[in-house]
Every structure is written in C-alpha cells, then in structure tokens.
C-alpha cells in the first residue's frame, strides 16, 4: 500500500493560527502563570493549612513559649507560623484577645536555647485579612461552579 499525504484542502491540514505563546509577551505569560499558581496552589494551602497548624499548636503546646507570652486568664495562643533553620527558630502566635490592644501576633524567637518574645503590632488584622482572602479565593477559583450561558455574547458579560 502506498501512503498518501493529505491534500492541502483536507481537514488534516496545519492551522494557520500562530501559537498563543508567540503572540503573548513574556511578562504577560509570567503574570498568567503566577496568577494560576497563586489561585490554584498557594491560596488553598493557606486556607486549609493554617487551621491545621493551629490545631497542631493546641494539641502540642510548648510550655516555655506559653510562659514567655505572659498569658492572662482565658487567653489561648494560636500557633500560626513556624520558622526553623539551624540554631535559630521562630514561632508566631495569634492572640485574639490582644488583637484590639495592638499585639495580636507575638513572635517567640529561640537563639541557641535562649527564648525571647516580641509583639508585632497590627499584624493580627493582616493575618485575618490574608486568611479570609484565601478562603474567598479558594471558593472563587476552585469550588464555585461556573455558570455557562446559552448565548455566547452573554457569556462574555458574566464574571
């Protein structure tokens, strides 16, 4: 049998449309990639990961950290961040009762076994804004079902 090449008028011909990657400038392509990574990977990890870190901190409290934070009655520190590297470590605690007093986040630093605590003013509100923003973005980009229109001109008007 003889193999025949498709004729130029057949349906198997090459597209005349240039590749999208060629038309799109590099900064715009990088921006789209960063937006995809942010909305599909980082945001859900933050929305789900922080509550797990808080649960871990409640289940395994560090008595030395709790003593250093000078907690009052009925005050519960919520672990919201951990940094570790060599002889240096930091743990960030969210203190909801101190949020309006200006010390919503307290950072306990561990330098070769020497502990020190530092209050971070106004960062508690930033933490809550980031977390609620991550929950909203997870819902917006991953969970919510997209509505498709029957009319293609109407499709472009929906967000």
Tens digits of per-residue pLDDT, 85-96?
888 999 999 998
How far from chain centre, in Å, is Cα 70?
A: 31
pTM above 0.75, yes or no: no
The side-by-side arrangement of strands in the sheet containing 105-111 is 78-85, 88-94, 105-111, 114-120
pLDDT tens digits, one per residue of 117-126:
999 888 899 9
Beta pairing, strands 105-111 & 114-120: antiparallel
> Across 39-43, 85-89, 95-99, 107-111, which has the greatest mean pLDDT?
107-111
């Amino acid at each position: 049998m003889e193999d025949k090449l498709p004729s130029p008028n057949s349906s198997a011909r090459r597209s005349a449309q240039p590749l999208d990657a060629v038309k799109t400038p590099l900064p715009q392509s990088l921006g789209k990639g960063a937006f995809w990574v942010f909305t599909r990977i980082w945001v859900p990890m933050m929305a789900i990961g922080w509550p797990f870190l808080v649960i871990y901190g409640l289940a395994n409290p560090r008595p030395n950290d709790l003593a250093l934070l000078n907690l009052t009655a009925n005050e519960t520190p919520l672990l919201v961040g951990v940094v570790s590297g060599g002889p240096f470590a930091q743990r960030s605690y969210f203190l909801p009762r101190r949020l309006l007093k200006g010390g919503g986040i307290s950072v306990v630093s561990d330098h070769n076994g020497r502990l020190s605590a530092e209050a971070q003013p106004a960062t508690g509100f930033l933490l809550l804004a980031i977390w609620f923003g991550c929950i909203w973005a997870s819902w917006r980009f991953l969970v919510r079902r997209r509505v498709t229109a029957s009319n293609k001109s109407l499709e472009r008007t929906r967000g």
